[in-house]
Amino acid sequence: MSDFTSDFWGLFVAAATLVSIVGCGVLLWTQTTKRPPTGVKAELHGNVWDGDLQEYNNPLPRWWMWLFYITIVFSLLYLVFYPGLGSFAGKSGWSSAAAYQAEMKAAEAQYGPIFNQFAGMDLAQVAKDPKARAMGERLFQNHCAQCHGADAGGAIGFPNLRDNDWLYGSDPAIIKTSIAEGRNGIMPPLGEAVGGEPGIAQVTHYVRSLSSLPHDASLAKEGATKFALCAACHGADAKGNPAMGAPNLTDGVWLYSSSEASIAESIRLGRNNRMPGQKEFLGEAKVHLLAAYVYSLSEKK
Protein backbone atom coordinates (compact mmCIF):
# COMPACT_ATOMS: atom_id res chain seq x y z
CA MET A 1 0.00 0.00 0.00
CA SER A 2 2.98 2.34 0.39
CA ASP A 3 3.04 2.78 -3.39
CA PHE A 4 -0.27 4.65 -3.21
CA THR A 5 1.13 7.28 -0.83
CA SER A 6 4.30 8.09 -2.79
CA ASP A 7 4.91 11.37 -4.66
CA PHE A 8 4.51 9.53 -7.97
CA TRP A 9 0.72 9.44 -7.73
CA GLY A 10 0.50 13.16 -7.06
CA LEU A 11 2.59 13.84 -10.16
CA PHE A 12 0.54 11.31 -12.12
CA VAL A 13 -2.74 13.01 -11.25
CA ALA A 14 -1.31 16.45 -12.02
CA ALA A 15 0.03 15.32 -15.39
CA ALA A 16 -3.20 13.51 -16.33
CA THR A 17 -5.25 16.60 -15.44
CA LEU A 18 -3.09 19.00 -17.46
CA VAL A 19 -2.88 16.68 -20.46
CA SER A 20 -6.68 16.34 -20.43
CA ILE A 21 -7.20 20.12 -20.36
CA VAL A 22 -4.62 20.77 -23.08
CA GLY A 23 -6.10 17.91 -25.09
CA CYS A 24 -9.51 19.60 -24.97
CA GLY A 25 -7.95 22.78 -26.35
CA VAL A 26 -6.16 20.95 -29.14
CA LEU A 27 -9.30 19.05 -30.10
CA LEU A 28 -11.29 22.28 -30.20
CA TRP A 29 -8.67 24.03 -32.33
CA THR A 30 -8.43 21.21 -34.87
CA GLN A 31 -12.20 21.10 -35.27
CA THR A 32 -12.71 24.84 -35.77
CA THR A 33 -9.88 25.81 -38.17
CA LYS A 34 -11.23 23.96 -41.23
CA ARG A 35 -13.67 26.42 -42.75
CA PRO A 36 -14.86 26.33 -46.37
CA PRO A 37 -13.67 29.20 -48.62
CA THR A 38 -15.91 32.24 -48.91
CA GLY A 39 -18.85 31.53 -51.16
CA VAL A 40 -18.34 27.78 -51.03
CA LYS A 41 -21.18 25.79 -49.48
CA ALA A 42 -20.25 23.32 -46.76
CA GLU A 43 -20.29 19.64 -47.67
CA LEU A 44 -23.03 17.29 -46.56
CA HIS A 45 -22.12 14.52 -44.16
CA GLY A 46 -24.44 12.17 -45.98
CA ASN A 47 -26.66 11.56 -42.96
CA VAL A 48 -30.39 11.98 -43.53
CA TRP A 49 -33.21 11.95 -40.94
CA ASP A 50 -36.96 12.03 -41.48
CA GLY A 51 -36.53 11.92 -45.22
CA ASP A 52 -35.11 15.41 -45.82
CA LEU A 53 -33.26 16.51 -42.68
CA GLN A 54 -29.52 16.63 -43.58
CA GLU A 55 -26.36 17.57 -41.71
CA TYR A 56 -23.81 19.95 -43.21
CA ASN A 57 -20.14 19.92 -42.25
CA ASN A 58 -20.24 23.46 -40.84
CA PRO A 59 -17.69 24.65 -38.24
CA LEU A 60 -18.75 25.31 -34.68
CA PRO A 61 -20.32 28.72 -33.99
CA ARG A 62 -17.66 31.25 -33.01
CA TRP A 63 -19.47 32.17 -29.74
CA TRP A 64 -19.55 28.53 -28.72
CA MET A 65 -15.88 28.06 -29.59
CA TRP A 66 -14.78 31.08 -27.54
CA LEU A 67 -16.95 30.01 -24.64
CA PHE A 68 -15.17 26.65 -24.69
CA TYR A 69 -11.76 28.39 -24.73
CA ILE A 70 -12.85 30.51 -21.75
CA THR A 71 -13.74 27.39 -19.75
CA ILE A 72 -10.29 25.94 -20.49
CA VAL A 73 -8.58 29.12 -19.29
CA PHE A 74 -10.83 29.20 -16.24
CA SER A 75 -9.92 25.59 -15.35
CA LEU A 76 -6.20 26.40 -15.52
CA LEU A 77 -6.63 29.48 -13.30
CA TYR A 78 -8.74 27.45 -10.89
CA LEU A 79 -5.99 24.84 -10.56
CA VAL A 80 -3.48 27.56 -9.72
CA PHE A 81 -5.50 28.75 -6.72
CA TYR A 82 -7.32 25.57 -5.58
CA PRO A 83 -6.24 21.92 -5.08
CA GLY A 84 -6.69 19.70 -8.09
CA LEU A 85 -3.18 18.95 -9.35
CA GLY A 86 -2.20 15.98 -7.25
CA SER A 87 -0.42 17.04 -4.07
CA PHE A 88 -0.29 20.74 -5.10
CA ALA A 89 -2.45 22.56 -2.53
CA GLY A 90 -3.10 25.71 -4.57
CA LYS A 91 -2.03 29.28 -3.91
CA SER A 92 -5.17 30.14 -1.90
CA GLY A 93 -4.42 27.53 0.78
CA TRP A 94 -8.06 26.38 0.76
CA SER A 95 -8.95 22.75 1.53
CA SER A 96 -12.22 20.94 2.06
CA ALA A 97 -10.94 19.54 5.37
CA ALA A 98 -10.09 23.00 6.69
CA ALA A 99 -13.43 24.37 5.51
CA TYR A 100 -15.24 21.52 7.26
CA GLN A 101 -13.36 22.11 10.50
CA ALA A 102 -14.13 25.84 10.34
CA GLU A 103 -17.83 25.12 9.83
CA MET A 104 -17.86 22.63 12.70
CA LYS A 105 -16.09 25.12 14.97
CA ALA A 106 -18.60 27.84 14.09
CA ALA A 107 -21.52 25.45 14.67
CA GLU A 108 -20.09 24.39 18.02
CA ALA A 109 -19.73 27.99 19.09
CA GLN A 110 -23.32 28.74 18.11
CA TYR A 111 -25.10 25.55 19.21
CA GLY A 112 -22.73 24.09 21.80
CA PRO A 113 -24.20 26.07 24.73
CA ILE A 114 -27.69 24.85 23.81
CA PHE A 115 -26.63 21.21 24.09
CA ASN A 116 -24.30 21.76 27.04
CA GLN A 117 -27.04 23.16 29.28
CA PHE A 118 -28.23 19.56 29.85
CA ALA A 119 -24.80 17.91 30.00
CA GLY A 120 -24.44 18.19 33.78
CA MET A 121 -27.96 17.01 34.57
CA ASP A 122 -28.89 13.48 35.58
CA LEU A 123 -29.90 11.55 32.49
CA ALA A 124 -33.26 10.43 33.90
CA GLN A 125 -34.00 14.06 34.77
CA VAL A 126 -33.10 15.17 31.25
CA ALA A 127 -35.52 12.56 29.89
CA LYS A 128 -38.39 14.36 31.65
CA ASP A 129 -37.58 17.76 30.16
CA PRO A 130 -39.79 18.51 27.09
CA LYS A 131 -37.17 20.75 25.47
CA ALA A 132 -34.44 18.14 25.95
CA ARG A 133 -36.66 15.39 24.53
CA ALA A 134 -37.44 17.50 21.48
CA MET A 135 -33.74 18.06 20.87
CA GLY A 136 -33.02 14.37 21.44
CA GLU A 137 -35.74 13.40 19.00
CA ARG A 138 -34.18 15.53 16.27
CA LEU A 139 -30.83 13.90 16.94
CA PHE A 140 -32.50 10.49 16.80
CA GLN A 141 -34.17 11.21 13.46
CA ASN A 142 -30.86 12.34 11.98
CA HIS A 143 -28.57 9.63 13.34
CA CYS A 144 -30.59 6.62 14.53
CA ALA A 145 -33.81 6.38 12.55
CA GLN A 146 -32.04 4.83 9.56
CA CYS A 147 -31.71 1.58 11.51
CA HIS A 148 -34.25 1.76 14.34
CA GLY A 149 -37.01 3.44 12.33
CA ALA A 150 -38.52 6.91 12.57
CA ASP A 151 -40.79 5.68 15.38
CA ALA A 152 -37.94 3.76 17.07
CA GLY A 153 -39.94 0.58 16.56
CA GLY A 154 -36.95 -1.26 15.08
CA ALA A 155 -36.87 -3.88 12.34
CA ILE A 156 -35.46 -7.35 11.82
CA GLY A 157 -31.93 -7.17 13.20
CA PHE A 158 -32.48 -3.73 14.77
CA PRO A 159 -33.95 -3.55 18.30
CA ASN A 160 -37.25 -1.94 19.13
CA LEU A 161 -36.45 0.94 21.49
CA ARG A 162 -40.03 1.54 22.61
CA ASP A 163 -40.58 -1.66 24.57
CA ASN A 164 -39.16 -2.83 27.89
CA ASP A 165 -36.85 -5.45 26.42
CA TRP A 166 -33.18 -4.40 26.60
CA LEU A 167 -30.32 -6.62 25.51
CA TYR A 168 -27.81 -4.81 27.74
CA GLY A 169 -30.18 -3.54 30.40
CA SER A 170 -32.39 -0.44 30.71
CA ASP A 171 -30.25 1.58 33.12
CA PRO A 172 -29.74 5.11 31.68
CA ALA A 173 -25.97 4.85 32.02
CA ILE A 174 -25.94 1.60 30.03
CA ILE A 175 -28.08 3.12 27.29
CA LYS A 176 -25.66 6.04 27.11
CA THR A 177 -22.70 3.64 26.90
CA SER A 178 -24.37 1.79 24.01
CA ILE A 179 -24.80 5.03 22.08
CA ALA A 180 -21.38 6.45 22.92
CA GLU A 181 -19.22 3.34 22.50
CA GLY A 182 -21.41 1.18 20.28
CA ARG A 183 -22.09 -2.53 20.65
CA ASN A 184 -20.91 -5.63 18.84
CA GLY A 185 -23.23 -8.56 19.51
CA ILE A 186 -21.89 -11.87 18.28
CA MET A 187 -23.53 -15.27 18.40
CA PRO A 188 -21.18 -17.99 17.12
CA PRO A 189 -22.45 -20.57 14.63
CA LEU A 190 -23.42 -23.75 16.49
CA GLY A 191 -24.77 -25.89 13.69
CA GLU A 192 -22.00 -28.46 13.79
CA ALA A 193 -21.72 -28.34 17.58
CA VAL A 194 -25.34 -29.39 18.09
CA GLY A 195 -25.13 -32.24 15.58
CA GLY A 196 -25.82 -30.73 12.18
CA GLU A 197 -29.28 -30.27 10.73
CA PRO A 198 -31.04 -32.79 13.02
CA GLY A 199 -29.59 -31.08 16.09
CA ILE A 200 -30.46 -27.63 14.70
CA ALA A 201 -34.08 -28.71 14.32
CA GLN A 202 -34.15 -30.07 17.87
CA VAL A 203 -32.68 -26.93 19.48
CA THR A 204 -34.93 -24.75 17.30
CA HIS A 205 -38.07 -26.47 18.60
CA TYR A 206 -36.80 -26.29 22.17
CA VAL A 207 -36.17 -22.57 21.85
CA ARG A 208 -39.64 -22.08 20.39
CA SER A 209 -41.11 -24.00 23.30
CA LEU A 210 -39.54 -21.57 25.76
CA SER A 211 -41.91 -18.80 24.68
CA SER A 212 -44.90 -21.10 24.06
CA LEU A 213 -44.63 -21.00 20.28
CA PRO A 214 -45.92 -23.96 18.26
CA HIS A 215 -43.31 -26.73 18.37
CA ASP A 216 -42.71 -30.44 18.11
CA ALA A 217 -42.58 -31.75 21.68
CA SER A 218 -40.38 -34.75 20.86
CA LEU A 219 -37.83 -32.60 19.04
CA ALA A 220 -37.92 -30.02 21.83
CA LYS A 221 -37.19 -32.72 24.40
CA GLU A 222 -34.05 -33.73 22.48
CA GLY A 223 -33.08 -30.09 22.04
CA ALA A 224 -33.29 -29.41 25.77
CA THR A 225 -30.20 -31.51 26.42
CA LYS A 226 -28.26 -29.79 23.64
CA PHE A 227 -29.23 -26.35 24.88
CA ALA A 228 -26.39 -26.65 27.40
CA LEU A 229 -24.13 -25.23 24.68
CA CYS A 230 -26.37 -22.16 24.51
CA ALA A 231 -26.77 -21.80 28.26
CA ALA A 232 -23.21 -20.45 28.55
CA CYS A 233 -24.54 -17.16 27.16
CA HIS A 234 -28.31 -17.30 27.50
CA GLY A 235 -28.28 -18.90 30.96
CA ALA A 236 -29.62 -22.25 32.10
CA ASP A 237 -33.08 -20.70 32.37
CA ALA A 238 -32.66 -19.08 28.92
CA LYS A 239 -33.46 -15.65 30.35
CA GLY A 240 -30.37 -14.08 28.83
CA ASN A 241 -27.35 -12.22 30.15
CA PRO A 242 -27.36 -8.40 29.88
CA ALA A 243 -23.63 -8.27 30.63
CA MET A 244 -23.02 -10.05 27.32
CA GLY A 245 -26.02 -8.74 25.41
CA ALA A 246 -27.38 -12.30 25.18
CA PRO A 247 -31.16 -12.07 24.68
CA ASN A 248 -33.87 -13.55 26.85
CA LEU A 249 -35.36 -16.45 24.90
CA THR A 250 -38.46 -16.78 27.04
CA ASP A 251 -40.12 -13.37 26.73
CA GLY A 252 -41.52 -13.56 23.20
CA VAL A 253 -39.40 -10.67 21.91
CA TRP A 254 -37.32 -11.59 18.86
CA LEU A 255 -34.64 -9.54 17.15
CA TYR A 256 -34.64 -11.73 14.03
CA SER A 257 -38.28 -12.94 14.20
CA SER A 258 -39.60 -16.08 15.88
CA SER A 259 -40.11 -18.15 12.75
CA GLU A 260 -38.67 -21.65 12.75
CA ALA A 261 -36.49 -20.80 9.75
CA SER A 262 -35.06 -17.67 11.39
CA ILE A 263 -34.24 -19.40 14.69
CA ALA A 264 -32.65 -22.30 12.81
CA GLU A 265 -30.54 -19.85 10.78
CA SER A 266 -29.32 -18.16 13.95
CA ILE A 267 -28.21 -21.53 15.35
CA ARG A 268 -26.74 -22.72 12.09
CA LEU A 269 -24.82 -19.60 11.01
CA GLY A 270 -24.72 -17.43 14.11
CA ARG A 271 -25.35 -13.69 14.15
CA ASN A 272 -23.09 -10.65 14.07
CA ASN A 273 -24.71 -7.35 14.89
CA ARG A 274 -22.73 -4.15 15.21
CA MET A 275 -23.96 -0.79 16.39
CA PRO A 276 -21.39 1.95 15.69
CA GLY A 277 -20.35 4.25 18.51
CA GLN A 278 -21.44 7.89 18.18
CA LYS A 279 -19.26 9.62 20.75
CA GLU A 280 -16.50 10.70 18.38
CA PHE A 281 -19.00 12.02 15.84
CA LEU A 282 -21.63 13.62 18.08
CA GLY A 283 -19.69 14.53 21.19
CA GLU A 284 -20.53 14.04 24.85
CA ALA A 285 -23.35 16.60 25.13
CA LYS A 286 -25.32 15.31 22.15
CA VAL A 287 -24.87 11.69 23.21
CA HIS A 288 -26.24 12.66 26.63
CA LEU A 289 -29.37 14.17 25.06
CA LEU A 290 -29.81 11.27 22.69
CA ALA A 291 -29.51 8.73 25.50
CA ALA A 292 -32.12 10.64 27.51
CA TYR A 293 -34.52 10.58 24.56
CA VAL A 294 -34.04 6.85 23.99
CA TYR A 295 -34.55 6.21 27.70
CA SER A 296 -37.78 8.21 27.59
CA LEU A 297 -39.14 6.03 24.78
CA SER A 298 -39.34 2.95 26.94
CA GLU A 299 -42.59 2.29 28.75
CA LYS A 300 -40.53 1.56 31.86
CA LYS A 301 -39.66 4.99 33.26
| Per-residue model confidence (pLDDT) at position 249 | 96
| Per-residue model confidence (pLDDT) at position 45 | 73
> Shortest CA distance to 288 belongs to which of 114, 106, 107, 120?
120
Residue 43 neighbours by CB under 8 Å, 6+ apart: 36, 56, 57
Domain spans, the chain: 2-81, 111-182+276-297, 186-275
| Per-residue model confidence (pLDDT) at position 30 | 82
Q: What is the dihedral of CA 245, 248, 253, 254, to 10 degrees?
A: 60
Contact 279, 269 (CB under 8 A): no
| Per-residue model confidence (pLDDT) at position 255 | 94
| Per-residue model confidence (pLDDT) at position 48 | 81
| Per-residue model confidence (pLDDT) at position 296 | 94
| Per-residue model confidence (pLDDT) at position 301 | 46
Task: Please determine whether the domains at 111-182+276-297 and 186-275 fall in the same fold group of CATH.
Answer: yes
> Shortest CA distance to 269 belongs to which of 186, 207, 188?
188
- DSSP letter at 120? T
Q: Quick one: fold of 111-182+276-297?
A: Cytochrome Bc1 Complex; Chain D, domain 2 (1.10.760)
| Per-residue model confidence (pLDDT) at position 2 | 52
| Per-residue model confidence (pLDDT) at position 87 | 85
Q: What's the maximum distance between 2 C-alpha atoms anywhere in the chain?
A: 101
The pTM of the whole model exceeds 0.85: no
The matching CATH number, chosen from 3.20.20.140, 3.40.50.300, 3.40.30.10, 1.10.760.10, for 186-275 is 1.10.760.10
HSE, CB side, 13 Å, CA atoms: give it for residue 150. Answer: 0
Tens-digit pLDDT profile for the chain (301 aa)? 455 567 888 889 999 999 999 999 998 888 776 666 666 777 777 778 888 888 777 777 888 889 999 999 999 999 999 998 888 888 998 988 899 999 989 988 988 898 889 988 999 999 999 999 999 999 999 999 999 999 999 999 999 999 989 999 999 999 999 999 999 999 999 999 999 999 999 999 999 999 999 999 999 999 999 999 999 999 999 999 999 999 999 998 999 999 999 999 999 999 999 999 999 999 999 999 999 999 999 854 4
d(CA 128, CA 189): 42
Q: List, in sequence order, every beta strand (DSSP E) within 21-65.
A: 44-49, 53-56
Are β-strands 44-49 and 271-275 bridged in parallel, bridged antiparallel, or unpaired? unpaired
d(CA 118, CA 113): 9
| Per-residue model confidence (pLDDT) at position 1 | 47
Angle of CA points 214, 218, 222, to nearest 5°? 110
